[in-house]
Each structure stands twice: as C-alpha cells, then as structure tokens.
Amino acid sequence: MTSLRPDPDKVAEARDIAENAREATRAAPSFAAELFLGHLAEELVCPFPEQPSADAAVAGPLLENLEAVLKAEIDPDAVERDDEIPAQAIERLKEAGAFRMKIPEAYGGLGFSQTNYGHAVALAASHCGAIAIWMSGHQSIGVSTPLKLFGTEAQKEAYLPRLASGDLSAFALTEPEAGSDPALMETRAEPHPDGGWVLNGQKLWCTNGPEADVLIVMARTPDKVIGGRPRKQISAFIVESAWEGFEAVHRCAFMGYGGIRSGLLRFRDMRIPEENLLWGEGKGLKLALVTLNTGRLTLPATNTAVAKQCVRIVRQWAREREQWGGPIGAQEAIAVQLGYIASHTFAMEAFSDYAAGLVDRGGTDFRIEAAMAKLFCSEVVFQIADRTMQIRAGRGYETSDSLRARGVRAWPVERIFREARLNKIVEGTSEIMRLFIAREALDPHLERLGALTQPESSLGAKAQALLRGAGHYPLWFLATLWPGIGAPDAVPAPLRGHWGWMRRQVKRLARRITYAMVRHRAELEHRQGWLGRMVDEAVDLTAMALAMARAGSRGDEGSTELADLFCRHARSRIRERHHTPTRLDRAGAEVASNLLKDRYLDLERGIVKENHWPGGANPGA
C-alpha cells in the first residue's frame, strides 16, 4: 500500500516552488488584508466605489449587440443537446466584439475595463454558460492577458492583433498528475543546440485548447542551482497549434457546459522560437498566479448572473404555484429559501463589482479580494442553485427539453444546478482558495514571527523574532480590544448595528489568528480545518461590509432590506463556526486515515464493485 505519510522532501520542494512564485510584498492597501490584522479600513469600501457612468457607457453598444446575437443565434438547450456551438454563432459573437474586449485598442481590441468585461461575460452566462466559458478561456486567462501584462512589444505586435481579428487562445497549465501542486509538472522545454526550445509533454482540461490557434504553455525548464541546491524552474511559452508537434488528443465531456472545448493536449518535439519565451526563464508560475488574480474575477461575475436568473425563476414560480390554498411563496418553508436567494445574490453582486473595480482603479492590492470573491460566489451560487431546484421540485429536476415537450415553461433549473457545481473546482478549488487566502492573511505575522514557526531556524533568528513580536504585539493587542464607535455615514441607519458587530468580530478574528500562530507554530499549516473556517469567517465579514456599503450607495429601502437579511445569515454562520471544535477536525482526519488503510471495507459491501466499470488502467489520469 502507498504510504500515507507525506514525503518531507517533496513537501519542502512544493512549498519552495509556491513561495518563490508568490508576490511577496504588499505595497498597496487592501481592505481584506487589513481585516485580518484587526483593522476595518472603512475608507476603502465606504462610500461604495460604484462604476463611473462614463465607463459603463463604453460597454453599452456591445452589451446590446451581444444580447441580440445570443437571442438570435444560440439556443442553450440545443447547444447542450448537440454538444456543439454553431460555428456561425461564434463568428457572429466575434463580429460583435465579444472576443476582443480585453485587448488594448492599440492592437485592434476594445480595451474594456475589468468591470465592463465582467458584465459582458455575465450577460452571456445568463443565457448560455458554454458561451461564457469560450469567451473567458480566450480572454480571462487566455493569451491576451498574460501577453498584455508580461509580453515584449514585439510579442504584443505579433499576437494581439491576431487575437483581436479572430484567432482563439487558451492557457495550458494543468496536467494529469499536476493539479494544484506545480512541483509535479512533467511537461518540459529543453534548450535546442540551434537556439530556441523543444517542448514535450501533455496538458489536461485546457479550455479552448482543442480549438485554439495560440496558447500559453507552462513547462519545466532546466533546474537552477540556488543556495547550493537545484531548484525546479517553470517557464511560460507562446505556442501555436499549427506548429509541428501539436496534437489535440481528446476532447473531454463533462456533466455540464455542453459545447465547450476542453481537452487533453500533447506536445511532441515541438520547436519553439527563442523569442516566444514569455517574461523570462523560471517566471512562468508567477506569471500564472498574477494572471489568475484577475482571470478568476470572471467567475464572480458569471456566478452572479446565474444567481440573478435563479431569483427571476423562483420569484415567478413561488408566486404562481399554489398549494394548500395559496402561493407556495407564502409558506415559511419556501419563504426562507426565497429570502436566502435574494439576499445572497445582492451580496454576490456587491462582492463581484467591488473586486472588479479594484482592478480598474489601480493603486490597491486586490489578490485577497479576488480570491475571496471567487470563493464566496462559487460557494453561494451552488447553494442558490440547490435551493432553486428544491423550490421547483420535480420540475426543477426535469430537463428543459422534457418540460417543453409536455407544454410547460422550460426553465433550465436542472442545467443551472449541474453547471453551478463546476465553480467550486475551476481556477482554484475552494480548498485551495482557502489555503491561498490563509497564506496571504498570515504573511504580516510570518514576517515578524516566522522564525518561531520554523523548526530549522537558529536560536538567534528565533530571538530576533521574539524581540520583534515583543515590540509590536502588546500595543497591537490592546488596540484590538477597543471596539470602536459608530459606523460610516454611508451605512444606512438600520444596518449600523451590523456594522458595529462586524467591527468587533474583525478584531476578535485577528486576536484568534495571532493566538493560533503562537500556539501551533509550524503545525498551523496542517490545521486546514481551522484555517478554512478562519478564512470563511473573514469572507463573510468582508461580504457584510460590501453589502452594507452597496446598500448605502443604492439608497433605497429594498437594498437595505436585502443587506440586512444577508448580514443576519452571515452572523449566524460566524457564530456556528465559533462552536466547531478543532478536535472534530482531528477526529475526522483519524477516520480518514483509517479509511485509506482499508479499515472500513464493510461500508462497501453489497455494491457492484468498480472493476465492473470499463475504463483505462490509470485511475489518476
């Protein structure tokens, strides 16, 4: 049996690679980063930074054209039924500008802001999720974004006009054995004696990959000796599918999003020109992480659009459907679900718009906010889809084609439910997002106390860490005991009680984080259950602040009511997390260990075993 104990050397190597790819400094303000330190940076959210009307007007014509094309050219049920988006529809979308929104105008693009781009992809997602994935795979994390951020002028001139004119792009990072751990990457690019590189390897689940004309491919390049030992290097390359050595091996099929092109790609002895190395040797993983900071913001926008469709569906259905003498929406069992859906959709939109606005305004560090927005909206949209299906009941479980065939309204709840599940997996699973946020949140503490958490640190380093801590934390701790008074003027009066409670919880959370670091030290990184709850609490606190600030910006009673209900839900969740004992995590981990040691095989008695299922010999591929 494979050992269940992690290999210390492999753990250290994976940690080194991830740490070296991090943006190690934070030179700009961040509401979420300050929250983890016990400081509520109210000036960063109040008043809510709404999109300038002039910027919104820029996207108006495209949004109007995009909606017309979506309605005229794309039947979402037919796309799923046929697993195909008509080529004519893709061409019409390209003509409308839907595939050149994030390319600068100087290269033939539209130069949209992140907010406008998000609204356009969200509009597509509200009609057909597969179309949104085509658009996002090309622009959010495709070639244009990393090229715009890190490309040379020659690289931009060579490729951005092509992408603006219709070439499709993709981003190839994941491999069959390398998901969230880049240390396991096997695709390699070796220097060629005549110059340039030779690429060999394969990439999995590459969105748009089987159809792409141009791709960003991550590959290992020769190790470098750093600090007396070899370090793995990951580099980024611009490649073209027309080059010899490229093969789209397999187009993957999924439980949702019929019509997308995602698959297994293979590179065999592909020659890459020297000038197609992007940014520099060994900088590929950092490039990928920076690209994903903005790239993953598409998901909050599209998730919010799907949630809005759910609001529309349940509002009409719960009012029209009558049981037991009245509309089902009047029954409390259904009404509480309606309230959850409406209030959480309001918070999702506030989170999505705020995070996108941070990118547009500049001058802030939005890494944590972007990850929080992705985590929050991915988790919540699935809850909303689940509740929508429950409210629609049997009609929710029935496919649109079946509903239409028997002459009733064909709301696509079943499809929405299946597709909503993907969001908790792509562009960083929820578990990875929690660990990413936790690492960023702990960074200021690690800068001061890091030596105390590392067993290999010298006594001198630990003594210096103690001195730094002694000079900072006593006064900091006293400051976190001061609850603060009042709320910003921009917060509506009915919500100010929530604001005061939130401020107290922010300070309490910061004290708990510091206590956990001192108590657990190096073991804290393994307390992933506690870290996850800490992050979820911070996400809920951030969402509370944004919902209240957005309600103040809107200035209407309806927004205040929605923000109030959301805050009540968030407070309830936070209190529940406080009562979850860490020993429950340890008990669960112990049972998991025994499960993997085959101690509970009786649980599998009486079923048809998996060896009756056809398939390949490699379960990991």
Distance CA 118, CA 408 (A): 33
Distance CA 133, CA 402 (A): 25
Q: Do residues 240 and 275 lie in contact, with contact meaning Cβ atoms separated by under 8 Å?
A: no
Q: Characterize 241-258 residue by residue with b for buried, 16 or more Cβ atoms within 10 angstroms of its Cβ, and e for exposed.
A: beeeebebeeeeeeebbb
Tell me the sheet residues that pair with 266. Answer: 202, 247
Which token pair is 111? 């130069």
Rg of the chain's alpha carbons, rounded to an integer? Answer: 25
Out of 379, 398, 427, 440, the active site residue is 427
Length of the chain: 621
Q: Do residues 245 and 270 lie in contact, with contact meaning Cβ atoms separated by under 8 Å?
A: yes
Distance CA 451, CA 535 (A): 23
What is the 8-class DSSP label of residue 129? H
Q: Characterize 195-221 residue by residue with b for buried, 16 or more Cβ atoms within 10 angstroms of its Cβ, and e for exposed.
A: ebbbbbbbbbbbbbbbbbbbbbbbbbb
In 227-327, DSSP assigns E strands to: 229-240, 246-251, 262-272, 277-278, 322-323, 326-327
332 as an active site residue: the answer is no
Q: Do residues 277 and 197 lie in contact, with contact meaning Cβ atoms separated by under 8 Å?
A: yes
Which residue is listed with tokens 């159809």?
A: 211
Distance CA 572, CA 565 (A): 11
φ and ψ at 485, to 5 degrees? Answer: -130, 140
Q: Are strands 214-226 and 262-272 parallel, antiparallel or unpaired?
A: unpaired
Give the three-state DSSP class for 387: helix
The CA-based angle 64-67-70, given to 5 degrees, is 150
The CA-based angle 130-133-136, given to 5 degrees, is 155
Q: Which of 166, 59, 157, 57 is nearest to 112 (CA)?
A: 59
Give the three-state DSSP class for 378: helix
What is the 8-class DSSP label of residue 178? B
Query: In terms of C-beta density within 10 A (0-12 exposed, 13-18 middle, 19 or more buried), how is residue 284 classed?
Result: buried
Give the three-state DSSP class for 412: coil
Which residue is listed with tokens 């944590």?
A: 368
Distance CA 254, CA 33 (A): 36
Helix ranges (DSSP H) in 394-458? 394-397, 400-405, 413-420, 430-453
Distance CA 378, CA 423 (A): 5
Catalytic residues: 427
